Chain A
Amino acid sequence: MTDTAIATADNAILAGARTGSAVAFEGVVKDYGRTRVLHGLDLAIQPGEFVSLLGPSGCGKTTALRVLAGLERANGGTVRIGGADVSAVPTNRRDLGMVFQAYSLFPHLDVTANTAFGLRMRKIAKREAAERVRDALALVGLTGFGERFPHQLSGGQQQRVALARALVTEPRVLLLDEPLSALDAKVRVTLRDEIRRIQLRLGITTVFVTHDQEEALAVSDRIAVMNAGRIDQIGTPEELYLRPATAHVAEFVGLSSVLPCTVDGGVAEVLGIRLPIVGESADGSAEAFVRPENVRLGGPIDAVVLESTFLGSVRRTVLRTAGGQLLRMQHAVGERVEFDERVTLGIEPAPVAVRPREG
């Protein structure tokens, strides 16, 4: 298929799409037995927005998504799609598209029939359905794969078909539950960028669940960082990275070194260097999260090199200070350091997140 043909296909879908709806969680509570998994979740998503739910394993991301999909019933609170309370609407009438972590194509149907499934359920005429299936497969770059069965596809291709199958009905909301986690690193990056490209073209509201912060940072309009059934912070990737609201967010988004410090009047003293803090923190001893790119060679801190890794465009080095603290530094490839080499370090005066020290 030529580029123009793909563009035509995209436009055909575009014409009917732009149907993204607003999504809102309002105080959603979910219990499994006697354990509370969601503690009054609040989250408002704009029409056409790409929001990631990011958080450690077991924090309730999948549960939140399943409640939104109607696959689980909430014990309290309201879920709205397009402004309407959908609590009583069964999954099959919520008009969603969903891609699961596990391969979920119907094994007995070929790619075309899999993609057409949602249209068949909606009793769309055969000819129109065939056309839309063709467009959707073109959109995910699988033109010509229509007659293959799921077992004849690679993992990445299967997830593409799952995406086409979810998009072909032009749903109001697209739900993605770690659709990339079973794929290898390279495919994961390609496919995540492609999902974002398609999402931007179609303007479809998307909720993307992941525990991979890099993935979330790369594709999201906004990220909701979850922790133990609550949302710690919601913001653009830049906001989360530069001004984490809590230590958990700082720890979870981006890479940090955790260093002991003392807070005094909004300033943290880390290894003898005074740094402004983000947010508020009570005076006293605490832990600061220092970004590796804010650590540089040359300064008042004595340290020894433990390990230095070449990452292509940058070099990342782990050091131990004279006081025994571990510190990560990201620096230019040209600045070579050797194992066991003694160096001096400084820290840029960028704001750091702090959390009070336990005990």
Chain B
Amino acid sequence: MTARGFAPHPAVRWLIGLAIIVLFAIPIVSMAEYTLRDATTGGHSLVHWIELFDPAKAGTYRPIWTGLGNSVVLAVVTVAIVLLLAPTMVLVELRFPKLKRPFEFLALLPISIPAIVLVVGLAPIYLAIGRTIGTGIWPLAFAYGVTVLPFAYRAIQAAIDATELRVLAEAARSLGASWPAVLLRVLAPNLRPGLLAASLISVAVVLGEFTIASLLNRQNLQTALVVVGKQDPYASVILSLLALAFAFVLLVAIGRIGGGAPRARRSSRPPKDQP
């Protein structure tokens, strides 16, 4: 039987694909159309896009740039936190396999807790943080670390499961590698797809986060968009559109990395030629 045996007819596939594209495209295209409306002429123009960089209106848009800056800082710190997760998971895998299940449960727990509930618990903590570390934006990354934990965990665990971690680590040890060398020179390169995917997912989540920042009275990209949207709906839609496009690019990147070369290589059988 050929591989196509159960696959739908190409036409059907295209039809399904098209339907989905249309479904997603309608709101996005509507948003794009909206940003191009020109009230003065009644037609379409790029006037709102150009206004974004108009020094005269800089005051109105300032929150957006602050929010964007804050979100980027948060994304960076969150990614750093997520990358600390990897050595921990490797340690659990190699040294404490019995902890694997409890650790997984803990890591996946945040997915079942709504952000609002999370905030109830976080509010007093951030009150204390505000008093001690200050009200800077970056401590919010700890909260984001918790929210992205399940996604990052899954991405990294998938890479760990696809790698013969123990054998590679033991081979490296027997060849004289210290533990840091094992981690950096052997395990990290082989877990790279998972690490990248975890990082990109974290970035996507942080850039799209609204609830926690809003309820804790911190300003990030999404809260700023809401603030500005009240004065200038065009600008906020334009930036939402850009944020969406960025997230889309990130997801495509994740897909490419996940399905990328190393995984495909590993699954292919070695050729049976000369010994």
Chain A positions near chain B (C-beta within 8 angstroms):
69, 71, 90-93, 95-98, 100, 102-108, 117-118, 121-122, 149, 151-158, 160, 162, 165-166, 169, 175, 183, 186-187, 190-191
Say which one of B76-84, B139-147, B162-170 lies at the interface with A: B162-170
* B273 is an interface residue with CB less than 8 A from chain A: yes
Given A108-B190, A156-B275: A151 and B268 interface contact (C-beta under 8 Å): yes
Interface pair B178/A92, CB less than 8 Å apart: yes
Counting contact residues on chain B (CB < 8 A from A), the size range is: 20 to 34
Chain A residues, Cβ within 8 Å of B262: 107-108
State whether A100 touches B170 (Cβ < 8 A).
Answer: yes
Q: Is the CB of B176 within 8 A of A93?
A: yes
Chain B residues with CB below 8 A from A100, complex form: 167, 170-171
Contact B164 A169 (CB under 8 A): no
Q: Which of B173, B176, B270, B275 contacts A122 (CB 8 A)?
A: B176
The 16 sampled A-B contact pairs (Cβ below 8 Å) are A71-B170, A92-B177, A98-B171, A98-B175, A100-B170, A102-B167, A104-B170, A106-B168, A106-B189, A107-B190, A107-B262, A107-B266, A121-B175, A154-B273, A165-B175, A190-B275
- Is there contact, CB below 8 Å, between A106 and B186? yes
Min distance, Cβ B133 to any Cβ of chain A, angstroms: 39
Smallest Cβ-Cβ distance to A120: which chain B residue: B185
CB-defined contacts of A93 to chain B, threshold 8 Å:
176
Are B270 and A108 within 8 A (Cβ)?
no
* Given A102-B167, A107-B262: A186 and B173 interface contact (C-beta under 8 Å): no
C-alpha spacing A104/B164, complex, angstroms: 8
The answer to whether A104 touches B266, judged by C-beta atoms less than 8 angstroms apart, is no
Q: A106 and B176 in contact (CB under 8 A), knowing A153-B270, A154-B273, A158-B270?
A: no
A190 CB contacts on chain B under 8 angstroms: 275
B172 within 8 A of A: yes
Interface of B is mostly: helix
A122 / chain B contacts, CB cutoff of 8 Å: 176
Compute how far the CA of A153 lies from the CA of B272 in the bound complex, rounded to whole angstroms: 8
Min CB gap B266→A, angstroms: 6
Which residue of chain B is the closest to A96 with respect to CB atoms? B174
Q: Which residues of B contact A (CB under 8 A)?
A: 163-164, 167-168, 170-178, 181, 185-186, 189-190, 192, 262, 265-266, 268, 270-275
Minimal beta-carbon separation of A252 from chain B (angstroms): 28
Most chain A beta-carbon contacts within 10 A, residue among B174, B176, B177, B270: B174
Cα distance A157–B174 in the bound complex, in angstroms = 20
Rounded to whole angstroms, the CA-CA distance of A153 and B268 in the bound complex is 11
Closest to A97 in B: B174
Bound-complex Cα distance A272 to B262 (A): 67
Residue of B nearest to A106 (CB): B186
Which A residues are CB-close (under 8 A) to B185? 117
For residue B274, which residues in chain A have a CB less than 8 angstroms away from its CB?
A: 154, 156-157
Q: Which residues of A contact B273 (CB under 8 A)?
A: 154
User: Which residues of B are found within 8 Å of A153, using beta-carbon distances?
Assistant: 270-271
Complex alpha-carbon distance, A118 and B174, angstroms: 9
List residues of chain B with CB within 8 A of the CB of A152.
270-271
Which has the most chain A C-beta neighbours within 10 Å: B172, B176, B266, B274?
A: B176
Question: A1 CB to closest chain B CB, in angstroms?
Answer: 15
**CA A358 to CA B186, docked complex, whole Å:** 53
Query: A100-B167, A107-B190, A169-B175 are known contacts; what are 12 more A-B pairs with Cβ within 8 Å?
Result: A95-B176, A96-B174, A97-B175, A105-B171, A106-B172, A107-B265, A117-B175, A151-B265, A154-B273, A154-B274, A157-B274, A157-B275
A157 to B273, CA, bound (A): 9
Q: Contacts of A71 on B, CB cut-off 8 Å?
A: 170, 173-174
The answer to whether A108 and B189 touch across the interface, beta carbons within 8 angstroms, is yes
With the chains together, A41 CA to B174 CA distance in Å?
22
Report the Cα distance A104→B179, complex, angstroms: 17
Which residue of chain B is the closest to A190 with respect to CB atoms?
A: B275
Q: What chain B residues lie within 8 Å of A187 (beta carbons)?
A: 275
Residues on the B chain within 8 Å of A157, using CB: 270, 274-275
Question: What A residues does B181 contact at CB under 8 A?
Answer: 121
Question: In the complex, A153 Cα to B275 Cα: how many Å?
Answer: 9
> Which A residues lie within 8 Å of B176 (CB)?
92-93, 95, 118, 121-122, 169
